[in-house]
A and B are shown apart, each in its own frame.
Chain A
Amino acid sequence: GAVVSQHPSWVICKSGTSVKIECRSLDFQATTMFWYRQFPKQSLMLMATSNEGSKATYEQGVEKDKFLINHASLTLSTLTVTSAHPEDSSFYICSAHYYYEQYFGPGTRLTVT
């Protein structure tokens, strides 16, 4: 149980376009989801905390208008990278809170050309 999926697993987009990444809790409801960014050979950096039905809480230094987070239901949170640029290329990981644990999705590799 407590499985989190992400879609897509890998996406390539052109500079200036927007891309949406989905995070789903498959067998549980998650009122809180988290979005992380991970650069190669580095640790996870929390970008924002997403609460169902309310605005996301962004970490300091994360551009809210660039990284749009929507947690419209108890099983789905989305991260939209708007007007993507090559520097946004990274590995994005979501996690969902369930019974005092966080369960991680498999991650999404974003490449902006």
Chain B
Amino acid sequence: AQTVTQSQPEMSVQEAETVTLSCTYDTSESDYYLFWYKQPPSRQMILVIRQEAYKQQNATENRFSVNFQKAAKSFSLKISDSQLGDAAMYFCAYRRYYSRDDKIIFGKGTRLHILP
């Protein structure tokens, strides 16, 4: 069975600095998606970034980038120039590639605090 592990329940970072959130996963599949979702206090789930496992290039979205290490089954999120609006719960997630109906498996989340 696939699992997603986030070992940092909470993290803090000074505004304008860089922070990295860690995630590891376990799967026997070779093709899959990995995601980082943000859940702010409104509790609306927001997709931050997506990585297809077959792509070697790390995904980037503005200030957000990932370090995808397929062999190590590691998928960390780097947030550069942290802003107050980045304060939220961040979930690492996995989904198999083949079936569009397949469920997303979420990690337990990391609560990120931004210090002004």
Contacts and interface: CB of A to CB of B under 8 A. Distances in A.
Contacts of B108: 42-43
Given A43-B91, A44-B91, A91 B104 contact: no
Interface residues on B, range: 10 to 19
A41 B91 CA distance: 12
- The 5 A-B pairs with the shortest beta carbon distances in the complex, nearest first, are A104-B45, A32-B101, A43-B106, A43-B108, A106-B44
Interface of B: 33, 42-45, 47, 50, 91, 95, 100-101, 103-104, 106-109, 111
Contacts of B101: 31-32, 49, 51, 97
A102 interface: yes
A28 to B, nearest CB: 13
B109 A43 contact: yes
A65 interface: no
Nearest to B50: A101
A51 B103 CA distance: 12
10 contacts: A32-B100, A34-B103, A44-B106, A49-B103, A95-B45, A95-B104, A97-B101, A101-B50, A102-B104, A104-B44
A46 B108 CA distance: 13
Chain A interface mostly helix, strand, loop or mixed? strand
Contacts of A84: none
Nearest to A109: B43
B91 A91 contact: no
Nearest to B105: A46
Contacts of B109: 42-43
B91 to A, nearest CB: 6
Interface string A91-112: 1010101001110101100000
Contacts of B95: 102
A3 to B, nearest CB: 11
